Amino acid sequence: MNIGNGIKNLNSHLSGFVSIMVIVVVFSVTAFAGEAINARYLEPRGRHIIWEIAVPTPSPAAIIVTQYILPESEISETSHPLSSYDREAGIAKWLLTSISPGPLKMEMTVSKAIRKKGEIHGEVMFQDANNKTMASVFMKVKKKKKAIEGC
Partner 1 sequence: MTTEDQIPRSPVTRVSVNGNKIKYIRESKGLTQLYVATFLGVTTDTVSRWENGRYPTVKWENVEKLAEALAVDPEELMDIEASDSVSGSSRNKLERKAIAAKKYVIAAVVLILAFVSLAVFFRYTWKSGTVITATRFLPRHVAPGQPFPVVVRVESTGGLPFTFIMEEMLPEDFVIVRGMPEVASFDTARNTAKWISNSRQNLFFLAYLIQTPADLKRIGKITFAGRIKADNAPTFEQRVLGDSEVEISNYHWVDTNSDGSIDDEEILTAFSSADVLKGLGVDMDLIKKIWSAGSYSWDPERNQYRINE
Residues 74-103, interacting with partner 1 (CB under 8 A): 83-84, 86, 93, 95, 97
Contact status: 11 vs partner 1 (CB under 8 A): yes
Buried b (16+ CB within 10 A) or exposed e, 63-87: bbbbbbbeeebebeebeeeeeebee
Residue type, 27: F
Least distance (Å) between residue 151 CB and partner 1: 49
- Return the number of the residue (137 or 141) whose C-beta is nearest partner 1: 137
Q: Is residue 17 near partner 1 by the rule CB under 8 A? A: yes
Measured from the CB atom, the residue of 49 and 92 that comes closer to partner 1 is 92
- Binding partner 1 (rule: CB under 8 A), the pick from 31, 33, 36, 61 is 61
How far apart CA 89 and CA 138 sit, in angstroms, is: 18
- In terms of C-beta distances under 8 Å and separation of at least 24 residues, what long-range contacts does 18-25 make, across chains too? 25/61
Q: Which spans in 14-63 are helix H? A: 20-30
Give the footprint of partner 1 on this chain (CB under 8 A). Answer: 1-11, 13-19, 21-22, 24-25, 29, 60-62, 64, 83-84, 86, 93, 95, 97, 125-127, 131, 133
